[in-house]
Amino acid sequence: MKKFALLLALVVGMATAADAQPAFRVGGGVIFDGTVWGGGAAIDLPMSDKPFGITIQGEYYKKSGVTTVPVRAMAIYRAPAGEQAEFYFGGGSGLIYSKVSIGAASASTTKALGAGVAGINFKASESFGVFGEVGIDRALTDGAKNNFGARVGISFGGAE
C-alpha cells in the first residue's frame, strides 16, 4: 500500500509540473452485475500539450451490506471529437476494497486491481462539461470476475 501511495504521489507530481491544468470529475455510477449504485470523483492530469495523461479515480458503491471501493490510476489517451467533445480511453491498476457486513459481523479485503475505461467528455465552456464513461475492473486474483460499470457526471477545470 505504501509503494502504491508513493507511486501515485510521483505521478501526480510529474503531471502537475506540466503546463496543462488538471480537470476534476464528479458523478454517479452503477456496477451492472447486481445493479449496485454509487458515486465517485476523479482528477485528470494532462501531460502538457500531449494527448496522453493520467487519471486517478476513487469510487464508493454499497448494496445489501456489501461495500466496494475501487481506487485506480490509469494512463489515458484523448482524441478530439469535434469542437466541443473528446473521446478518451486507457488502462491501469489500483486497489479494490470490499467489505461484507451481516448484522454485527463483517469481513473486508483489499486486493490489487486491473482497470480499463472508455468515455466521452462534452465541453459546455472552457472549464465546464459533462462526461459519460464505461469501465471494467478485475481483482488480480484467481477466480475473480469482471465488474463492468458506467459513470456519468460533471467535469470542471482543465483550462489551458
Taken in order of first residue, the domains within the chain and their CATH numbers are 2-157 (2.40.160.20)
pLDDT of residue 146: 92
| Helices and strands (H and E) in the chain: how many | 1, 8
The pLDDT value given to residue 158: 76
Question: Looking at the whole model, is its pTM more than 0.85?
Answer: no
The pLDDT of residue 48: 77
Instruction: Specify the pLDDT at position 159.
Output: 59
Alpha helices of 23-105 — where are they, by DSSP H?
A: none
- The DSSP element (H or E) to which 112 belongs, if any, is strand 105-125
Residue stretches of the chain with pLDDT short of 70? 1-19, 159-160
DSSP bridge partners of 93: 73, 114
